[in-house]
Amino acid sequence: MDVATKQSLDFNTTTFGNERKDPQDLIPIANEIRRDIIRSLVRAGSGHSGGPLGSADIFAALYFGGVMRYNPQDMHWDGRDRFVLSAGHMAPVLYAALANAGCFPKEELGTLRKYNTRLQGHPGRDMHLPGIETSSGSLGQGISIAVGMAMSDKLVDGSDRRVFTLTGDGELQEGSVWEAAMAASHFGLDNFCWIIDNNDCQIDGRLPDVMNVYPIVDKCVAFGFDTIEVDGHDPADLMRGFDHFLGNQARGTGKPTAIVAKTYMGHGVSFMNDKFEWHGKPPSKDQAAEALNELAMMP
């Protein structure tokens, strides 16, 4: 690699606050998350590129748009909202968001998937990384854990804490997803927000070719969710979806919320964009340099 490439692979030390922002101010944050994903993956030499890059705007809105309540200096604060990454293989985007929030040093992102790292290939609660609420990775199980958290908060503790979870759309092929959805509706969990990353890709191909899960919105509605579709790359539309959920909880509607976010796998990197082949592989050093150059030209 040349000097310019070496410099571009370095993690900067900038962190971002969680105060309410103009949606347009979330765009550069999402792109910094994308750059950190590339930097992490090329060092690791393994891991998932497509989904993390495609969901970066969602994480920017969640963690930096004033949606989730948390304290980066105390991620065990009792009043925090909780986020569960059910699609655990998308861990690089969660790690990048947490590091950019100041939950741990950004340089640690360079240890992704290394021996004895806290940044495992799937989130591990046993690694004691701030912001990881549960171990996940077995698809279909994370949403069940998140629903259990929301039930405990609402029905046992009487807390106004909110629980967010993100599943991939391919994950909807797991039956346990729909058992959890049925429970969230039955128990009136208006403190529960289910985000579906709808990029229409999974490791083997397009969803309709592997196991058709459409129509996703109609299914969520049928399972009792207040369901809203958003453009997962438009920060204003994402904030519209999250504000809809927060309003539902504030009014005590008794209905969980599903946000179906239309995204593109590998968004922001032209040679990865909307290509399922990038679901589960990292960039080479040359590809990482090309990706970072493209991302550097974005806001």
29, 60 Cβ separation under 8 angstroms:
yes
Residue 82 phi/psi, 5-degree rounding, is -120, 145
At 253, is the secondary structure helix, strand, or coil?
Answer: coil
Mean pLDDT of 198-203: 96
pTM given for the model: 0.95
- Using DSSP's 3-state secondary structure scheme, residue 82 falls into strand
Q: What pLDDT is attached to residue 2?
A: 46
Residue 92's nearest CA partner among 294, 280, 245 is 280
Burial class for 121, CB neighbours closer than 10 Å (0-12, 13-18, 19+): middle
**pLDDT tens for residues 263-293?**
999 999 999 999 999 999 999 999 999 999 9
On the question of pLDDT at 5 being above 80, the answer is no
- CB within 8 A of 298, min separation 6: which ones? 27, 31, 268
Class of domain 3-296: alpha beta
* Beta pairing partners, 205: 202
Quick: pLDDT tens for 168-195.
Answer: 999 999 999 999 999 999 999 999 999 9
Closest CA to 237 of 264, 267, 266, 260: 260
pLDDT at position 17: 86
Give per-residue pLDDT as tens, 67-110: 999 999 999 999 999 999 999 999 999 999 999 999 999 999 99
| 8 — pLDDT class (breaks 50, 70, 90) | low
Per residue in 124-173, pLDDT (tens digit) is 999 999 999 999 989 999 999 999 999 999 999 999 999 999 999 999 99
Residue 21 confidence (pLDDT) above 50 = yes
Question: How high is the mean pLDDT of the chain?
Answer: 95
Q: Which class for 14: exposed (0-12), middle (13-18), buried (19 or more C-beta within 10 A)?
A: exposed
Q: Which two tokens stand for residue 275?
A: 């290509």
Residues 6+ apart with CB under 8 A from 53: 34, 37, 38, 93, 265, 266, 267, 268, 269, 272
